[in-house]
Amino acid sequence: MKRQVLACLLTFSAVGGAWAQSQIDTVKVTGGSVQGVAAGNVVFFKGIPFAAPPRGQDRWRAPQPVVSWSGVKKTDTFAPSCIQDPALAQVFGAPPKFSEDCLYLNVWTPAHSPNDRLPVMVWIYGGAFAAGMTSIPLYDGTKLAQQGVVFVSIAYRVGPFGFLALPQLEREGKGSGNYGLLDMIAGLQWVKKNINAFGGDSTHVTIFGESAGGIAVSMLAASPLAKGLFQRAISESGGYLQPPKFANEGGQNGLTLKLAEKQGEQFLSGLGTRDVAAARTLSPDLIQREAGPALSARFWPVYDNYVLPGDEYELYELNHFNDTPVLIGTNSDEGALFAQPGVTSASFTAQVRQGYDAKANAILAAYPSNTDAEAATSSKNLFRDTAFAWPTWAWARLQSRVGKNPVFVYYFDHRTPLSPDGATHGAEMPYVFGNFDPRQGTPTAADIALSEHMMAYWVNFAKYGNPNGNGLPNWPTFQENTQQVLYIDGTLAAKPVPNIAQLQALNDYYSWRRAEAQKR
């Protein structure tokens, strides 16, 4: 009997050793070799450089080639996050380490061999283009990698470091103000060149992001510089199909180059200089202090005629976009996170009249404010719809009308005791990643079941360009004549687009804005 037990243990040990040896742990990439860390059936590589540190003379320049290193670089910890207000790191439990030397990415792979050729999912974080980092525990890629994909997360510059536009910068090279987007593109180029060595398939890449990350996904879908770097796109609470901003128009954030450069010159003056060369010698902390608090959205991607050739809506209408299958959606109570305190009937009415001009009456009819309570609700819902729901709806309609590939739309309405009025902004992410914050309690069996369904949908989409699969309720493609979306809450079922009357009022408003812009 003892011999049988010993034989079993030896066999198990041999099998375990063979498993460990079959995992990919050391990989040669652009710049040198990296060594990962095995964690069960997944190996992770944290802090792989994909570009040179964008500091000194490389501040406010497109990412430069990575600096090579000798020997084998241990990639067992996250690199510092890009310079930003540290408040977001504190909220989400990320390491409070920040530097301009921040252009690194991370890889989680379940592959046994470079020949496995697994689908790749590339994550782009949110944070209003003012904050965000790959080291947030929520973004750990282990559970998604365990579903049979290679998971990658890319860092990019934020705030003034990523999106400062100036005439001087435009004269230095192509475009101005979209350095954060160029970081994402450089990261995707790294993936194309290197991911096969991790067992991934460089011709089978899905980009996905949430909030500003989801907006960035839509921008990459419209950028000629990103053509061929991905074959699927997932945008959670993202999309940017609104017209460019010229002044203080309501419900618009994307800046024309002229306006962005004007704001950039004002920012430089606040730093005590008008010269970019001098600004490149200033400390990053001084620049960040001038930028202000996190999520201020003071800096935003720019229509620079290079990275972003123009109004995305018009680019789609002309069929000038990177046509891939897309999976997009929003949450039911996203505006709650951004709700302004003290909203009254009078203040909301004045705000709408100031921002929506000739269409103010139609917007107020769709978002009534007869009482202060009604105004507070309409205020948060107007933010939800202008920032997230309308651009997602517009994207879906254009993709189904013009694109050759399908679009799948979801509406996340999972309610909890902490969010009885609906799902707040970002509420879907723990379910997508399978990572629940222990500070918010232990997930229920229903939470885990919902997470398993959502991970299956997302991974199926990454694998096949279609989220459907065995054991999952049917998710129909979005068609402009039927407009069915998957409601995700206690049950999973296809239903009509919610809040359609409000979306149609905004559609009329944005059409008017676009027509007015063409008269300029």
Known catalytic residues?
Answer: 211, 334, 425
Side-chain half-sphere of 316: how many Cα atoms within 13 Å? 26
Helix (H, G, I), strand (E, B) or coil at 202: strand
Question: For residue 152, what are the contacts with CB-CB under 8 A and spacing of at least 6?
Answer: 105, 106, 107, 108, 120, 121, 122, 123, 141, 187, 191, 195
| Residue labelled with tokens 């084998």 | 72
Q: Residue 56 — left, alpha, or beta (φ > 0 → left; ψ -120 to 50 → alpha)?
A: left
| Residue labelled with tokens 């652009």 | 30
Looking only at the bridges linking them, the beta strands covering 484-488 and 492-496 are: antiparallel
CB 121 within 8 A of CB 434: no
Question: For residue 479, what are the contacts with CB-CB under 8 A and spacing of at least 6?
Answer: 400
Distance CA 385, CA 389 (A): 4
Residue 81 exposed, middle or buried by CB count within 10 Å (0-12, 13-18, 19+) = buried
Residue 514 exposed, middle or buried by CB count within 10 Å (0-12, 13-18, 19+) = middle
Question: For residue 289, what are the contacts with CB-CB under 8 A and spacing of at least 6?
Answer: none
Helix (H, G, I), strand (E, B) or coil at 302: strand
CB 132 within 8 A of CB 211: no
